[in-house]
């Protein structure tokens, strides 16, 4: 199973910052190659700055479904609101935070 980092509150990748029923993804951070539920968790647990994924890296598997642990590419994640493996629904409001993770 993929290791998750951060201030987790359950085994579906929810954290102290985001814990609605739809907050079930973790993002692999380019800078440290670790999965965190959010940028706030990353910043609390790492001493380096976030490096964002560039558009030419959007085929990288960098999104983890917290329900079934299926890894999605960034492109796949940006094109869906549900996990293609287990149909769990993702929080579509995460789009407001893309600029923390991706060069968009």
- Whether residue 18 is contained in a domain is answered as no
| Per-residue model confidence (pLDDT) at position 1 | 81
List pLDDT tens digits, range 34-45. 999 999 999 999
- Whether residue 10 is contained in a domain is answered as no
Domain count, the chain: 1
Range of the domain at 29: 25-101
List pLDDT tens digits, range 69-103. 999 999 999 999 999 999 999 999 888 999 999 99
Contact predicate 47/31, CB 8 Å: no
pTM above 0.85, yes or no: yes
């Amino acid at each position: 199973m993929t290791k998750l980092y951060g201030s987790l509150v359950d085994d579906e990748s929810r954290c102290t910052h985001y814990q609605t029923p739809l907050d079930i993804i973790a993002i692999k951070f380019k800078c440290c190659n670790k999965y965190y539920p959010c940028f706030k968790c990353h910043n609390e647990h790492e001493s380096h700055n976030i490096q964002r994924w560039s558009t030419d890296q959007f085929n990288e598997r960098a999104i983890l479904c917290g329900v079934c642990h299926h890894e999605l590419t960034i492109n796949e994640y940006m094109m869906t609101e549900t996990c293609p493996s287990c149909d769990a629904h993702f929080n579509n409001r995460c789009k407001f935070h893309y600029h923390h993770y991706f060069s968009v």
